[in-house]
Amino acid sequence: MFLDRLRTAQPNGACVMESFDVTALYTNVSNDSAMQAIFELLTQHEGEINIWSGKYYAQIRGLAMGQRLAPSLAIAFMSKVEAPVTDLGPLLYCRYVGDCFVLCSTQEEIDRCFELLNTQSEYIKFTREKPKEDWLPFLNVQISLSENGYITKWYRKPSSKNILAHYLPSHPSHTKRALVRNMYRTATSVCTGRQQREESRNLERQIAIFNGYESVAQDRCRGNRRPPNDNSSDRRVPFILPFISNDISTAIKRCLRRAGLENSVSVVEIPPSNLKRQLVRNRLYDRLCATQNCIICPSGRDGDCMSSGIVYLISCKTCGDEYIGESGRPLCVRMKEHLAGKNRPNSPLGTHRTQRHNGDDFEVCVTILARESRTQARRTLEALWINSRNPKMNRREECLIITHDIGQYIKLLF
């Protein structure tokens, strides 16, 4: 942080300070200069040491997998590798990242394209796959050539587990329907003939039933269609809520109908978090704690002290009393204010110190309860947490936001 570096510099009155700002930075950086700067940075960090799962590794060559820029750089490099092949003018050449489809008039031309691709780089080497039983898979399609042209059908890799979001877990019903509907549309849209379309439908139906969508698959088999969406929904105000269950969603929509708001408010349900969202992190081990004597990260993860837009819990290590608050600023900044408030009797922690510990100091630990960037939603979450846990340090003034904003609609629930 800037203030940490300023503190390290230890300036005084004998120093001189100014601030400089670039005029129209983006429009004055040429593409060639930017590419040259990227090349120099990559060369400079060619022997970079990385940490993964507590072990140190040195990357010998190649782009770093997991970096957001790596796919773009790889695709740009592949356009250079494939340039000689496109110059040959095959009947069709298509590439998606590292998978290529080549269509030529003769086998000799195909062999020539394969040889050219494998001689463009020391490390980039291609493998080839020929049609099996006259069918060649490419991406999610199988292609077969005949004297009258070609035919295509839907394709799933043998290694694919065909796992979808199962029908039983708690997901919005419209999400489940859309999942099967989109799979059905894909399976039928890539087919060229009636026989291939029927084979793709059978495969799609098997995958749906395997994931618990038996009734949905039967409806899809009969050709049932949902009525088209009403265009008036585009003009409705979105009411965003986390999805809990279909029963609760139905109850909320029933309340809106009772209030006469069904044409003005549209309920938008956020899907629940899954294991992938909770476990997979980009650059997981790059989270570092930069706060001296941090009391936040020891109770959570490194880097939590710099989190903003959060609802947090302060617990007294001596007596166990709790305080719940929210902040849109970095949590470490807010905690410094709380700790300084121990010396003020009118602050929550100061009042707790006087009433529970006879003025003696006490230690606390901090836990993040929720993350929400929007101020109004975050304050509502804070009030809900206070109402749920009933923390003794809070004065419950935060719950007034619920009474002010949504209290008038509570009677509609009964």
Pick the range with the lowest mean pLDDT from 43-52, 120-129, 337-346: 43-52
Instruction: Give the integer Cα–Cα distance in Å for 266 and 263.
Output: 8
Structure tokens belonging to residue 405: 């904003």
Work out the pLDDT band at 335, boundaries 50, 70, 90. very high
Averaged pLDDT, 345-368: 91
SS3 for 393?
Answer: coil
Average pLDDT over residues 244-254: 84
Residue 186 pLDDT > 80, yes or no?
Answer: yes
What integer pLDDT is reported at residue 154 of this predicted model? 92
Cα diameter, the chain:
94
Q: Is residue 413 very low, low, confident or very high in pLDDT (cuts 50, 70, 90)?
A: very low
Helix (H) or strand (E) holding 366: strand 364-371
On the question of pLDDT at 77 being above 50, the answer is yes
pLDDT band at 163; cut points 50, 70, 90: confident
The dihedrals phi and psi of 328, each to the nearest 5 degrees, come to: -95, -5
Q: pLDDT band at 228, cuts 50/70/90?
A: low
pLDDT tier at 71, thresholds 50, 70, 90: confident
Lowest-confidence segment of 235-239, 255-259, 342-346 by average pLDDT: 235-239
Query: What distance in Å separates the CA atoms of residue 200 and residue 326, rounded to the nearest whole number?
Result: 52
Token output for 193: 């003939």
Q: Say which CATH class 293-410 falls into.
A: alpha beta
* Residue 217 confidence (pLDDT): 53
Residue 21's pLDDT band (cuts 50, 70, 90): low
| pLDDT confidence of residue 1 | 52
Q: Are 154 and 186 in contact (CB under 8 A)?
A: yes
Residue 187 token pair: 């399976």
Q: What pLDDT is stored for residue 229 in this prediction? A: 54
Question: Any idea which of 61-65, 197-201, 232-236 has the lowest mean pLDDT?
Answer: 232-236
Confidence of residue 401 (pLDDT cuts 50, 70, 90): low
Average confidence score pLDDT of the chain:
80
Q: State which amino acid sits at residue 410.
A: I
339-364 average pLDDT score:
91
Q: Which of 323, 320, 332 is nearest to 296 (CA)?
A: 332
Q: What angle do helix axes 173-189 and 214-222 make, rounded to 10 degrees?
A: 50
In which residue ranges of the chain is CATH 3.40.1440 found? 293-410
**pLDDT score at 328:** 92
Highest mean pLDDT pick, 42-46, 222-226, 362-366: 362-366
Confidence at residue 63, expressed as pLDDT on a 0 to 100 scale: 72
- Asked whether the beta carbons of 170 and 215 are under 8 A apart, the reply is no
| Whether residue 314 has pLDDT greater than 90 | yes
pLDDT band at 323 (very low <50, low <70, confident <90, very high): very high
Q: How confident is the model at residue 8 (pLDDT cuts 50, 70, 90)?
A: confident
Model confidence at 221: pLDDT above 70: no
* Share of residues in the chain with pLDDT > 90 (%): 19
Q: What is the pLDDT of residue 388?
A: 83
- Beta bridge partner(s), residue 132: 135
* Structural tokens at position 67: 């970096």
User: What dihedral do alpha carbons 347, 353, 358, 364 form, nearest 10°?
Assistant: -170
Rounded to the nearest 10°, the torsion over CA 54, 58, 60, 66 is 40
Tell if the pTM clears 0.85, that is, is over it. no
Alpha-carbon 15 to chain mean position: 46
What average pLDDT does the segment 215-227 reach?
52
Q: Per-residue pLDDT averaged across 60-76, rounded?
A: 74
Buried b (16+ CB within 10 A) or exposed e, 342-361: beeeebbbbbbbeeeeeeee
Of 54-63, 129-138, 255-264, minimum mean pLDDT range: 54-63
CA distance 406 to 36: 56
Residue 232, helix vs strand vs coil: helix
Inter-residue long-range contacts of 342-347, CB under 8 Å, 24+ positions, other chains counted: none
Contacts of 81 (CB under 8 A, 6+ apart): 117, 120, 121, 124
Q: Which of 28-32, 37-41, 44-48, 135-139 shows the lowest mean pLDDT across its residues?
A: 44-48
Given a contact cutoff of 8 angstroms between Cβ atoms, the answer to whether 330 and 296 are in contact is no
pLDDT of 399: 60
Amino acid 280: pLDDT: 64
